[in-house]
Chain A
Amino acid sequence: MNAGILLCLVILLPLIGGLFVLNAKDAVASNAKNARHTALLTVFSNILLILFLFSYFKSAESQTSGLIDIAFVLTNKIEFIFGADLFALVFVFGVQIAVFVGVLGVKKENQSQKGVLFFALCYLSMTNGYFFARDICSFYICFCGQLFPLYMLMCFANSEIQNTKLFYLFGHYFLGAALLFASFVLIMHTKQGDVLIEKISSVHFSHQKSIYIWGGIFLALMLRMPVWPFYHALTSVSVKLTNSLALIALNFLPLSGVYALTRYWPLDIPVEIELLSPIFQILCIVTMLVAAFGGFIYSNTSQKIHHYIFVYDLLYLLAVFLPTDVIKMNIAYSVFAFLLMGSCLIVLQSYMQNQSLKTGLALKGILCHMPKASLCYFLFVLAAIGLPVSAFFWNNFLIVSEIFNYHLYAGTAVIFAMTMAAVSLLEGAYELKTETCLPQTQVKIKDIDIFTFCVCILIMSVLLVSVVRPLWFVF
């Protein structure tokens, strides 16, 4: 089959699946879970398609530039181009698995979860498009297209977020979209047509225009990252979100910023905004430390997980801004493992919180009554804190060593933040496993179902074997 068509299918399949989800009979009374099963099947099909797409690459060492391309000519000036290389595919694959885990973790509430699932699939479709977009028009459409389903997803997720917090968060995102729009319009005006994103750096702009364009792109992507002062909006929303799928989806946005910066940001920072680079790096490190401290002071494990996620988002951001591209694939492998671990931890944490609410028992010691969840949770925590049970470990090692190569103090601060995040995560896991006085017979906590357990173990196996070869399942 033509690879380009497969690529389009990967983008469109979640959208089509979403339509099926809307039509699925999901009666509350009969406890039917058709919508959830349809969503699972859609995402699983997408996973298979992506695995098939991997076969178009000969090996992990092969070219990382776009190898699969498809173009749709709209006018003589605008042409939508979608393309995939190994780097993009690794990201997309990680995202699909994370969404699959997220759909598994959708709560079995009385009300139907159709809305959540539909918008999650729409969001997934747009995210796939975002990762495959190669020209500025399609990139911009997917960039903005991600925001509406995400907003709806969070509204449907039935969380306790205040409207003002949500307003601040999406205010950031829409401001970013506006800035990106302005930058792309200026680029199109200069070039008199559509431009491939990786070619932006080779286009010659006047000094003033260059400041606007690069500043706009930079800020647009930065507004997606949890960098101070934008950090606050994201944390205040994510700590209140109780729906695991919405939370996983929200955490894709910073990673999508990392992806765009890795792919399209020139190695030499444009001279027009070079002055801002050290300030930005200092902000990144300070935010990392604040996030690490944040995780350390809270006793709530879900907050520890959120802060841990922010620390690693910022680590990738720092790595992206290094004037080298040798660690590009290391970032991809690390993000892949990070997505898998993060999504599983979020789902398990959310499940434990639900059980705690249902039974009225405290979260402390809850894992003593859930042997399957306990095993999975501890395995993922071990992987997440950087022990060599996944490729996350040595890829992070190479990323951090590259940071050390350029900035010694930054590297030290990064390790310090990582240590604090890891310690707080491990401490949180021990808190959940602290033995309680409650006898087993009095506890009515339900352990995770066998299917979720098998998926978690499968994901852990994928991570474990990735220590030896990151993409062992395809190469």
Chain B
Amino acid sequence: MLNETVLYLFLIGVASLIHTNRRYDFLLSFAAAFFVCVVFGAFVLDFKTGLDLSYTLVLDSSQNTNIKLDIISSPQNYILILPFFVITILAMFNNAFFKYEPNKKNMAACFVFNLLSLLMLISGHNFIQMMTFVLVVDILSQLFIRDMRAGRLCSLYNLVSDMGLFLVLAMLEGKLSNLDVGNISHYYETGKHRDFIMFVVMFSLCIKFGFFLFQGYWLDLKKAKFHNLYFLPYLSSSMAGLILFVKFYPILVVSPSFLPLVNWLSVLTAAFGTVGAVLSSKIKEKFMYFNMIMMAFLVKLLERLDFQWNIYFSTVLILCFILSMCFYYFHYDIERKLAANKPAVLMEVFTTLGTASALVLQTSFLFSKNTSLWIFGFALVLCFVLALLCRQILEALKNVKLCKPTDFLSIFVMLFLNVFVLFLCRGEVAQYWVVLLFLACLTLVYYLLGFINTAKIQSFAFQDVDFLGVFLKKCFIAPFKKAGLLINILTDFILLERTFFPLLSGANVWLIRSYRRISRMGFLYYFLCMLFGFLVSFYIFIRSKQ
């Protein structure tokens, strides 16, 4: 059951943290990946038995509410966890074999704990549990990035996003007096503000997805190393956002603005991502923009599926990850420059095309009856970006010395991925015409791109300047800071320090001086004292009468 999976993963994670000599890093990271594989085997067996069980650990039963950790083993939760398990295993094996990773063992531990956090996020039904594990995933993303400059903006954006979620969950808890996620649909019986809640949740999730207007931190991540980055969109905050998207669905969908907002944001993000992918010359940047397109696609896909996360969607997610892995291997080939391995590069191109075809195929399976226009749109965008990528790779490798197939690792990984992709799409042959059409389009675009000098477009300043980031800085952050400064000057300096306190002090001085002056005028002083005494006596007399 899931609680056993949690326990085993926790033990593997802790064991990976044990301090050992560097030379055992490979061995330990490989062992960790292997054991996660074993746990995955048990997980799949449990999934097949399909039992509904739950395990609860009460942390604090205070007067007002119970804080608890739930691990609910239900078929829906298994389907949700499945892609992350697979992606984690692939990333862990890649981490174990990748020779440039200096700290394999700790990375393996991070992968395991990240998977554990996602698992707890999925299996929990408690606001605090959800919030906790979303935040843990965010912290772990910083450990993955391991670069202060690259991670700075990411952590700030994620913090703002998490505080937005904190607001919504606290509001729901306050109004419902219940921490259970299952009850959020009852919010409209007790509370209002459906649009406000929807906008806050969407604001937070858009930051997590790196959608249009919020992609600044995502583009900043390019400063980090690629091997710390390629898995991030499919294992970290964005996926936590996707899970929350499914969980919050009942409260979002009641707002009439929700669906138009999702549609517009998806389209704008995909458009921006496409433009970015075309204009950027570096693979890492291309990867960032490509992931924007993929995130928009995944969100839209989920919306079209009525937020029902099924096994096909899980497959799509895994295929997206494999595509990002291909990007990573392309980058690795170009970076080496001195010598590239021809069979390995061809294998990578082949895997990319195969995975992309499988992705289109899976998407078409999801909508076999009423295929809508946007799937074609997405397929075209994907086709265009991949054609561009392949052309760029092959052109970049034109002048590079090609050597004998010594890089067996790349070949092995790519072969494995091909087999894996075939395994994922097995048994579904009804719509293979989609693949043929897709590949035909891709070939056409590839040759058409030959007539355009892409290098000229790519020298455009777009690559170096984050226009939207500058816009946000100038239009939001700077006014905020100026407003803060103004408020501080007005309230503290002008109103208090220069007005209130001097007035108080002046009044005090005036009173003392007046008293002194009066006391010097003998007769008047005695007269005033007597008058004061008389008034007091008179007041007491009146009060006593009442």
Contacts and interface: CB of A to CB of B under 8 A. Distances in A.
A5 interface: no
A411 B174 CA distance: 10
Contacts of B175: 404-405
B166 A293 contact: no
B62 A330 contact: yes
B405 interface: no
B459 interface: no
B183 interface: no
A290 B488 contact: yes
A329 B193 contact: no
A232 B169 contact: no
Contacts of A427: 156
Interface string A124-135: 000000000000
Contacts of B480: 293, 296
A468 B61 CA distance: 11
B487 A397 contact: no
B136 interface: yes
B159 A423 contact: yes
A394 B500 contact: no
B228 interface: no
A434 interface: yes
A290 B175 CA distance: 28
A404 B163 contact: no
Contacts of A434: 148
B155 interface: yes
A394 B484 contact: no
Given A297-B488, A411-B171, A387 B163 contact: no
A160 interface: no
B210 to A, nearest CB: 18
Interface stretch (B46-54, B127-135, B310-318, B340-348): B127-135
Given A232-B492, A388-B135, A293 B483 contact: yes
A385 B139 CA distance: 12
B62 to A, nearest CB: 6
Output the residue of A236, A328, A405, A427 with the most chain B CB within 10 A: A405
Interface string B135-163: 11011000000001100100110011001
Interface in A360-411: 382, 385-389, 393-394, 397-398, 400-406, 408, 411
B445 interface: no
Interface of A is mostly: helix
A403 to B, nearest CB: 7
B481 A296 contact: yes
Contacts, number: 129
Interface residues of A, number: 53
Given A235-B492, A405-B174, A423 B160 contact: yes
A294 B484 contact: yes
B159 A61 contact: no
B170 to A, nearest CB: 4
A290 B59 CA distance: 36
Given A388-B132, A427-B156, A468-B59, A418 B170 contact: no
Contacts of B177: 405
B165 to A, nearest CB: 10
B169 A61 contact: no
A397 B128 contact: yes
B173 interface: yes
B19 to A, nearest CB: 16
B61 A61 contact: yes
A220 B181 CA distance: 43
Interface in B173-187: 173-175, 177
A327 interface: yes
Interface string A313-346: 0000000000000111110000000000000000
A23 interface: no
A303 to B, nearest CB: 11
A398 B60 CA distance: 12
Nearest to A412: B167
Contacts of B397: none
B262 interface: no
Q: Most chain-A CB neighbours within 10 Å: which of B64, B156, B163, B170?
A: B170
A106 B153 CA distance: 35
A388 B117 CA distance: 12
Contact of B166 (A168, A232, A397, A408): A397
Contacts of A235: 492
Contact of A293 (B128, B152, B484): B484
A385 B135 CA distance: 11
A293 B487 contact: yes
A228 B497 CA distance: 13
Contact of A404 (B149, B160, B171, B491): B171
A433 interface: yes
B496 interface: yes
B160 A430 contact: no
A439 interface: no
A41 interface: no
A281 B495 CA distance: 20
A470 interface: yes
Interface in A302-318: none
Contacts of B139: 382, 387, 389
Contact of B136 (A386, A388, A402, A469): A388
B501 interface: yes
Contacts of B496: 229, 232
Interface string B19-63: 000000000000000000000000000000000000000011111
A415 B161 CA distance: 12
B431 interface: no
Contact of B64 (A236, A290, A297, A327): A327
A422 interface: yes
A158 interface: no
A426 B250 CA distance: 33
A84 B483 CA distance: 46
A398 B62 contact: yes
B135 A387 contact: yes
A192 interface: no
Contacts of B497: 232, 236
6 contacts: A290-B492, A393-B131, A398-B65, A415-B166, A419-B163, A433-B148
Those 7 A-B pairs whose CB atoms lie nearest each other, nearest first:
A293-B484, A404-B174, A405-B174, A401-B173, A401-B174, A419-B163, A326-B64
Given A411-B167, A422-B163, 18 more contacts: A232-B497, A235-B492, A236-B497, A290-B492, A293-B487, A297-B481, A297-B484, A297-B488, A326-B63, A388-B136, A402-B174, A415-B170, A419-B159, A423-B156, A433-B148, A434-B148, A435-B149, A467-B132
